[in-house]
């Protein structure tokens, strides 16, 4: 839930969909008072902090923008159309191929023969040999020596007005959204009959986003955060709450 700081234009409470796991550590520095003896005369609690992390199973642009970027997303998102396979027309020409999404074509990302060997984009210069091409507005033109080639793979970029493009810019130091984070566990068991338990962290700043991309597994983005006091929030009659534990009621251990 957005709280403050540098918030995006369309700030919205969001659910962490596809949650795989979440954890947090509440730590306190213990400061001993020592004299001439081996053990301390007293121990006091010093600095405290609450840090956590969670792993999701969904790449969520809106969530990342609300938690990390605090930017104003656009709707003109680039889309990569990869491995679109074509055949170059046989003689006589013209030796042209029009890609499927030519109407929204923006950028050429390369052409390859069926064996993976790349073509060369001549950037509008005259074609003089096999393995050369030019491209304009989604129309690819090849040299006559490549007439009849099959399995030619074209990769390119298009623009989608229905997609979302969230971009992180080089903002001034300290720029960040501040959110309230609620971790909820509705499950109860025979050992713990209390249900609807959870944790509320009143002011949270997300600092780390790790997004591994794997060949043969799901993508599990990992988010790390830290909580700190919320001076404008009142809980149990007092300001400056950092976090709370919720026990939904019941018995057990």
Q: What is the pLDDT of residues 87-141, one digit of tens each?
A: 999 988 899 999 999 999 999 999 999 999 999 999 999 999 999 999 999 999 9
Task: Report the run of H or E that residue 61 belongs to, with start and end.
Answer: helix 61-64
Confidence bin at 150 (pLDDT 50/70/90): very high
Q: For 10-19, 91-100, 156-165, 188-197, which range has the lowest pLDDT when averaged over its residues?
A: 188-197
Tens of pLDDT, residue by residue over 33-50, are 999 999 999 999 999 999
The pair of structure tokens assigned to 214 is 């794997």
Q: What is the pLDDT of residue 190?
A: 66
pLDDT mean across residues, the chain: 90
Q: Are 161 and 73 in contact (CB under 8 A)?
A: no
State the Cα angle at 220 between 167 and 67, rounded to 5°. 40
- The whole model's pTM is what? 0.76
Task: Check residue 63 and report its DSSP letter.
Answer: H
How far apart CA 107 and CA 158 sit, in angstroms, is: 7
Q: What is the pLDDT of residue 40?
A: 94
Q: What is the pLDDT of residue 253?
A: 46
The DSSP bridge partners found for residue 252 are 192
Average pLDDT over residues 70-82: 85
């Amino acid at each position: 839930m957005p709280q403050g700081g540098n918030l995006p234009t369309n700030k919205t409470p969001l659910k962490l969909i596809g949650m795989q796991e979440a954890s947090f550590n509440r730590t306190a520095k213990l400061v001993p008072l020592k004299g001439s003896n081996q053990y301390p005369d007293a121990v006091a609690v010093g600095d405290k902090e609450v840090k956590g992390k969670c792993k999701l199973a969904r790449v969520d642009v809106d969530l990342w923008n609300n938690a990390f970027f605090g930017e104003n997303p656009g709707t003109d998102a680039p889309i990569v159309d990869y491995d679109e396979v074509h055949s170059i027309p046989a003689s006589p020409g013209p030796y042209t191929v029009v890609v499927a999404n030519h109407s929204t074509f923006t950028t050429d990302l390369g052409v390859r023969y069926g064996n993976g060997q790349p073509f060369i984009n001549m950037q509008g210069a005259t074609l003089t040999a096999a393995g050369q091409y030019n491209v304009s507005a989604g129309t690819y033109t090849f040299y006559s020596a490549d007439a009849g080639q099959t399995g030619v793979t074209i990769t390119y970029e298009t623009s989608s007005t229905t997609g979302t493009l969230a971009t992180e810019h080089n903002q001034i130091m300290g720029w960040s959204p501040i959110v309230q984070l609620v971790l909820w566990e509705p499950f109860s068991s025979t050992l713990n009959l209390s249900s609807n338990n959870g944790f509320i962290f009143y002011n949270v700043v997300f600092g780390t986003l790790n997004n591994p991309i794997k060949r043969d597994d799901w993508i599990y983005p990992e988010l790390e955060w830290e909580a700190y006091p919320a001076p404008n929030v009142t809980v149990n009659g007092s300001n400056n709450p950092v976090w709370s534990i919720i026990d939904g009621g019941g018995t057990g251990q």
